[in-house]
Structure 1
Amino acid sequence: MKNFKEIVANSNFPKQSGVYQFFDNNNQLLYVGKAKNLNDRIWQYANGSINSYKTNSLISQTTKIEYIIVANEAESLVLEKNLISKLQPRYNIDLRDDRSYPYLKISKQNSGLAIEITYKLNKNHNSFYFGPFLKRSGAFEIKKLLESEVMYDKGQKANFADKQEIEKKFNICKEILQKSQWIEHYREKMEKASEQQQFELAQQYFESIKVLEQTLKQYQNIDLPKKIDLDFLYCNQENINTFVITFFFYRNGTFLSHRSFIIEIVLNFEESLINFLNFYYKKNFIPDKVILDPQMSSLKWSFIDSKINIEFTKNKSFLQILENVKQNHYDFIANNIELNNQKIQQIQSILFEIKQTFGVSKTDVIMSIDNSHFANNLVTTGIICFINGEHNKKYNRFFNYSGQKQGDIDYMIDGLSKYLRNKNFIKPNLLFVDGGLPQLKQVKIILEKHKIEAKVFGLVKNQSHKTSHIINENNQQIIVSQNVFNFLSLIQETVDEFAKLHYNKKKIKQVLNN
């Protein structure tokens, strides 16, 4: 197999804008990137100018490079986004550990208003979003409050007579979420309910007031525009492998919440940051402005999505907020970065040990398969993947059994065969079967039939349904360290839970239908 530098040296990359794609020896897409100058960017990899752990892992697996020339940077950005969305290359930034934060959505409809908690945003003139909330419980309390204010009248569901009435109630919801005088309004209602010994209602008002106060609390002596949404962010490269980014979210001039991320670097800090922001704002609310420190203007921002309005501020009030962001940022690093580094080192150590123990050269895709059923009914086969040592849920797949024979081996053959018939399936380097020798042998036959070179091992459970030991195709027990055993036990527990999850969903559906 040629090394990466040989591949680059034997190719002739153009000095034009475009998108490049890295493939492995199974012709699976590893990474999609963009560049103003394709030749310069690819040679940056080959010359070792980009040397993070994740970059080294990427280029060590790359056996083929393809590129597409486009007219300008804007076209390359659009093409890159489309390719990543469609093909989901595993080395592109993926917020697989991102906790989704809820928003409240108030929308005007023909028959009235709809108030809901949502994790997806689709802004239009008929909808108003408020968030993100740090906790779903906070969003739920405010939702109940809004519903009691505009959706009911004296305990009865309100009728919306016309569009003017809908518009009026819509604006009341917006005011409640934006203007602090409503807190006094609800405090009076709470006191009245308490006087009338309606203690449960009074408690509901108390909880809602508490959330509203937290939500509408503003920093002192900071004058922000009241009708626009702002995100303030600060980031730094912590080491060659990671950078850290912290957001403060301001909605309608008030501080709402904050969050921080530790992101692994692919390529370099600059490109990883811009790729992250493009990906993050594709999934999350895009504010009117994203405020950054003027020092960050030296980065090349030409590839930032045009929908993201970046501003390098000199405004004193904004700079004061950025100082608060910075302080929280370094507090987060102090509390989390060392643990994150230890986690990365531990995963790398375990993967290195797995390579030695199981005789494989790569461990970037470790797959596991398991069945779930009750008395051979509602049979479900689950398949999961650990990518570079971490479970990546976007590669989870489940399959319903459609055969006639009954038995775990038949179920596993059917599920894995269906998986491999999907043209976008991800090929494993190593596959662990939840089961014994019969399952292991059949899975190995299926892989060979599809010309997939991957070693297969069995994870055998004890009577307590926990991992007992690992076997090879000769039914020999494989001795592993405690760290590797714990890691493989985690894989077995994860695939078991995934298969059971979808079995239980089918069971509930069956009960409801009956």
Structure 2
Amino acid sequence: MQWQISQELKATIQILPRSFGVYKMLDSNGKILYVGKALNLKKRVSQYFQKTITCPKTQALVQQIATVEVMITASETEALLLESHLIKTNHPKYNILLRDDKTYPYIIITTKQPYPSIQIKRSKQKPKNVAAFGPYPNASAVHEVLNLIHKCFKLRNCRDSIFATRIRPCLQYQIKRCSAPCTSYISQAEYLESVELAKAFLLGKSEKLLTELNNSMQNAVHQLKFELAASLRDQIQQIRHIQASQGIIQDEEDLDIVAISLNSPIPCIEHVTIRKGSILNTQAYFPAIFLSSMDNNEQYQHIFEAFLSFYYFEHPERIPKQILTPFAFDKNKLASYQEALKQYRKHSCKILTKAPKNAKAWLLFALNNLQIHQKQQISKQNFIQERMKSLAEILHLKKPINQLACFDISHTHGHATVASCVVFNKEGPLKTQYRKYNIVNTKPSDDYGALSEAILRHFKHLTKTNAPYPEVLLIDGGKGQVNVAAKVLKNLNITDIKLLGITKGEGRKAEFDRIYVKDTKTFLPLKSNANELFFFQHLRDEAHRFAISSHRKKRNKAQLSSSLESIPGIGPKKRKALIQYFAGLQGVKKASIEELCKVKGINKNLAKLIVESFT
């Protein structure tokens, strides 16, 4: 493709140095679009303007570049660190190879209570003032570990407000997942010993833990404490079972494996974390290859560097003693990577390109998982692309479908109304484009008005930001809702969107759902088991899920504020203390004056006001 670039930009590129450095690409307003690192600044920047570039992301980037700024560095290590800092500081739009803009789940054990609790906390950084373990790659992984903790060590997970007010054990005790410290069924010393054992387990010290448990079991037998011995025996069996399922290798070294595959339309990174001989987690990532003009070696290095920045530089506590990646980097590159990691972690991290004898099984594990995850992702994308292709044929569209959007409305008797918009592209749900709209300019219970407001705001924003419109717009509703959407689009002079509605069938059964087409004023002739109908239902259900979850948050917040904020003398801190102590607003409503006075900051006069406000 022939790029139309200004003479000023051409002149800038021609005089770029052939040295280490970092380059910034800026638009006409001076906003940073992309930040990159290069061993040869002139060669790397020139690659973006080649005629053979076919990558849509690169094309979109280059069309917006007004100028390029460079910063020369003394070494590749310095360039790598500077690039990471600029990306984290400026969040450029096109630095999307691996973007870490979400929170990760940690397991935390509180430290200030006599009987610590174990909980899940989501955070970008490692939580402070608690014993924190993680981060874990996803919620399912952390729930699986937490489930094992409850089975083996029976730690409490209830809130302090509930713990302080219990007079008898809860269901968790009955199903043998808690030792009921709330009712003194276990002494504080015994409970704290279980806490320390759980910490050792989470740190991967399984063998040391098993030795201690086995010694304790033998002592219990000698002292004729057979119930205690049986309990310790069960803990040992649980941990042994976990070890067997992981294929333990007795190796005290901490090791991460980063395996990258480029031999597919969808590149994949498989990351495996190994601590004290145990697999703590494994996670697949699917980066976007940005420069198609790179050869495989350059792409591998580019992705590996992005992963270092994304996974380690932003979370230095994750950096292990060793990282294994099966790629033949030259010595200078390895040295620059290791120096950069050392500057973040303050201790050395060795990058291995060949697996030691005791790590070959782990590498094989990582490569096998890499192949499986890659195949799953390809299958998923192929399925969605096939559905989009068949939808375009059924809807008689002249161009392929790149995006579909769906709107839904959620409220409770007209209160806390929220509209949702979800977007799917050829890779599936595009969650970065999901939007929720708090409906403020429409009368309660007016679904048509709420839908009109949401669609108007959404497409005005797309127009303002020059974002692409979806080729297909699905409305959760029938002819009435579709006509409302059509009117809004017409007023905005948007005419090239296929407008559909999905209506509930007889008895609200999914097999009777129908798809209404606005321009033909007919229903699509789809069978109840048609894949196209399933796809529309999936899109509708995702919009409904997103709308109702947003509505519930808004409704709960409104209930809380309307009930307590109106009481004189109840500020944010006291309101929070009340909710925590009584485990929710319903508990506050049922509390007596004497019970309310037990909350820090609530005197008798305030307690009377609270009781009166709910009667």
TM-score in terms of structure 2 length: 0.63
Q: Cα offset for 1:126?
A: 5.3
**Corresponding residue for 1:428?**
469
Cα distance in 2 for partners of 1:424, 1:414 equals 19
- What is the aligned counterpart of 1:475 among 518, 521, 536? 521
Cα distance in 1 for partners of 2:392, 2:67 equals 32
Q: Cα offset for 1:367?
A: 1.9
- What is the aligned counterpart of 2:318 among 267, 286, 289? 286
Cα distance in 2 for partners of 1:283, 1:151 equals 36
Does residue 69 in structure 1 map to residue 111 in structure 2?
Answer: no
Q: Cα offset for 1:404?
A: 1.8
Contact 2:514 2:524 in 1 (8 A): no
**Corresponding residue for 1:376?**
414
Q: Cα offset for 1:468?
A: 1.0
Q: Which amino acid aligns with 2:478?
A: G
- What is the aligned counterpart of 2:484 among 431, 442, 456? 442
Cα distance in 1 for partners of 2:305, 2:231 equals 46
Q: Cα offset for 1:370?
A: 0.7
**Corresponding residue for 1:7?**
4
- What secondary structure sits across from 1:442 in the alignment? helix
Cα pair distance change 1:131/1:340, threshold 3 Å: same
Does residue 242 in structure 1 map to residue 274 in structure 2?
Answer: no
- What is the aligned counterpart of 1:82 among 80, 84, 89? 89
Q: Which amino acid aligns with 1:486?
A: F
Select the structure of larger CA radius of gyration. Answer: 2
- What is the aligned counterpart of 2:536 among 488, 498, 501? 488
Cα pair distance change 1:447/1:380, threshold 3 Å: same
- What is the aligned counterpart of 2:234 among 203, 206, 215? 206
Cα pair distance change 1:125/1:476, threshold 3 Å: closer
What runs of 5+ residues in structure 1 fail to find an aligned partner? 160-165
Q: Cα offset for 1:494?
A: 1.2
Cα distance in 2 for partners of 1:130, 1:494 equals 32
Contact 2:272 2:281 in 1 (8 A): yes
- What is the aligned counterpart of 2:23 among 7, 13, 18? 18
Q: Which moved more, 1:66-75 or 1:102-111?
A: 102-111
Q: Cα offset for 1:460?
A: 2.2
**Corresponding residue for 1:59?**
59
Cα distance in 1 for partners of 2:456, 2:351 equals 53
Q: What are the Cα deviations for residues 366-394 of structure 1, in whole angstroms up to 9, with x where unaligned? A: 32111123443443211111233410333
More strand by share: 1
- What secondary structure sits across from 2:380 in the alignment? helix
Q: Cα offset for 1:412?
A: 0.9
Does residue 117 in structure 1 map to residue 120 in structure 2?
Answer: yes
- What secondary structure sits across from 2:469 in the alignment? coil
Cα distance in 2 for partners of 1:8, 1:300 equals 33
**Corresponding residue for 2:302?**
271
Q: Cα offset for 1:77?
A: 3.0
Cα distance in 1 for partners of 2:33, 2:396 equals 27
Contact 1:131 1:256 in 2 (8 A): no
- Percent identity of equivalent pairs: 15
Contact 1:472 1:478 in 2 (8 A): no
Cα pair distance change 1:50/1:152, threshold 3 Å: farther
Q: Which amino acid aligns with 1:183?
A: L
Does residue 232 in structure 1 map to residue 257 in structure 2?
Answer: yes
Does residue 259 in structure 1 map to residue 259 in structure 2?
Answer: no
Does residue 413 in structure 1 map to residue 452 in structure 2?
Answer: yes
Q: What are the Cα deviations for residues 404-447 of structure 1, in whole angstroms up to 9, with x where unaligned? A: 25322111123334546768896533332222344334334445
Contact 1:248 1:255 in 2 (8 A): no
**Corresponding residue for 1:163?**
none
Q: Give RMSD over aligned pairs.
A: 4.9
Contact 1:234 1:322 in 2 (8 A): no
Cα pair distance change 1:494/1:196, threshold 3 Å: same
What runs of 5+ residues in structure 2 fail to find an aligned partner? 73-78, 157-177, 291-298, 561-583, 587-615
TM-score in terms of structure 1 length: 0.73
Counterparts of 1:109-508 in structure 2, within 5 Å, are: 109=112, 115-120=118-123, 122-123=125-126, 127-131=130-134, 134=141, 136-142=143-149, 145=153, 147=155, 155=185, 158=188, 174-175=199-200, 177=203, 178=205, 180-186=207-213, 206=234, 210-211=238-239, 214=242, 219-220=248-249, 222=251, 224-225=252-253, 229-239=254-264, 241-251=265-275, 253-261=276-284, 263-267=286-290, 268-281=299-312, 282=314, 286-293=318-325, 295-298=327-330, 307=344, 311-313=350-352, 319-354=356-391, 357=395, 359=397, 361=399, 363-402=401-440, 403-404=442-443, 406-419=445-458, 427-430=468-471, 431-447=473-489, 455-463=497-505, 464=508, 466=510, 467-473=513-519, 475-477=521-523, 482-505=530-553
Cα pair distance change 1:90/1:270, threshold 3 Å: closer
Contact 1:102 1:119 in 2 (8 A): yes
Q: Which amino acid aligns with 1:250?
A: I
Cα distance in 2 for partners of 1:366, 1:22 equals 29
Q: Cα offset for 1:358?
A: 5.8
Cα distance in 1 for partners of 2:517, 2:148 equals 52
Q: Which moved more, 1:204-213 or 1:323-332?
A: 204-213
Cα distance in 1 for partners of 2:217, 2:199 equals 21
Q: What are the Cα deviations for residues 150-194 of structure 1, in whole angstroms up to 9, with x where unaligned? A: 9969646849xxxxxx9x99977655643634335445767969x
Cα distance in 2 for partners of 1:204, 1:50 equals 64
Q: Cα offset for 1:362?
A: 6.5
Cα pair distance change 1:82/1:468, threshold 3 Å: farther
Cα pair distance change 1:460/1:220, threshold 3 Å: closer
Q: Which moved more, 1:346-355 or 1:457-466?
A: 346-355
- What secondary structure sits across from 2:257 in the alignment? strand
Cα distance in 1 for partners of 2:89, 2:271 equals 26
Q: Which amino acid aligns with 1:19?
A: K
Q: Which amino acid aligns with 2:548?
A: K
